[in-house]
Structure 1
Amino acid sequence: MIRHVFIALMLATPAVAQDIEFSTDATENCLENDGADCIGRSADACMEATDGGTSTAGMGACLEKELEWWDGRLNDAYGKAMEVARSADEAEGERPLTQADALREMQRAWITFRDAKCDWEAVQWGGGTGAGPARLSCLMHTTGEQSLVLERHLEQR
């Protein structure tokens, strides 16, 4: 995806972020068909469909929309996983480390990792205009990956 962002930056044209054409269809269709590399499909489609979608502002707006969608999925999956963990903890009785506590600590550590990882991605651009889209792309991909981890965990329960 970072390669796509770089290529798109090279072709950048002015855009008005409010006029983006975003839909989650490309990502949802990919996930339904159990395809690989679904994260970012809707942002890519948005950049292609939006007039000025390859500008820094257009890319940022499209990436942010898909990031928000993945963040919503992640929050839903985390909430459901926490409910499952709490139920399991009640059934298993008192222990030094509960499933709910372990899940919460894992998620907190993941957030710290995600933020550091994506800050590192952004600084690779040396403060240039590509830093914003690079960070958003990283946040989108990393959040999507974590969402899928929790969703798959729930499916296996």
Structure 2
Amino acid sequence: MQADSIDDRRQCIGMSANACMEASPEGFTTIGMMQCIDSEREYWDGQLNQTYKLLKDAYKPQDAELDKMESSAPRMGPALRDMQRSWIAYRDATCDFEQSQWGGGSGGGPAVLSCLLRLTAFQSIFLLQTWSGE
């Protein structure tokens, strides 16, 4: 599936993990699910980090120009960094909560990884949307 729009990209979330689980004889065991989900999560995390770096690098000259002008306007680089740090705290707390609903059961592992996959993909798409101006 070629994902051209933001909605198309969101519809792709989880497709690779599901295909992996379907294709693997152990795909629907706890370990199999976790491996498949984590593999896709790593993909989205790579996309997120790549886009974050593009944004960070793009904001440096703009922020330097504001510094040169002694402008009181907010700097985009630090705002991006602070937003991302806050998002990481939100992601971790949200996924910890989702895992806690399993009461220590074996479903907690796939649940936390599914949460990490979903939220990482959403954030990756958000950053890509910011980068592309969509």
TM-score normalised by structure 1 residue count: 0.77
Identity %: 44
Equivalence for 1:31: 3
2:99–2:109 contact (8 Å) kept in structure 1:
yes
Q: Would you say 1:53 and 2:27 are equivalent positions?
A: yes
Equivalence for 2:59: 85
Q: Deviations over 1:25-57 (max 9, x none)?
A: xxxx25247625211110000000111100100
Q: Would you say 1:119 and 2:93 are equivalent positions?
A: no
What secondary structure, in the 3-state scheme, does the structure 1 residue paired with 2:79 have? helix
Equivalence for 2:84: 107
What secondary structure, in the 3-state scheme, does the structure 1 residue paired with 2:11 have? coil
CA RMSD in angstroms, aligned pairs only: 1.7
The 2-side partners of 1:125 and 1:136 are apart by 13
The 2-side partners of 1:66 and 1:104 are apart by 24
Structure 2 gaps, min length 5: none
Q: Would you say 1:133 and 2:110 are equivalent positions?
A: yes
Q: Which amino acid aligns with 1:149?
A: F
Equivalence for 1:18: none
What secondary structure, in the 3-state scheme, does the structure 1 residue paired with 2:13 have? coil
Q: How many residues align?
A: 129
The 1-side partners of 2:47 and 2:131 are apart by 13
* Deviation, structure 1 residue 74: 0.5
TM-score normalised by structure 2 residue count: 0.89
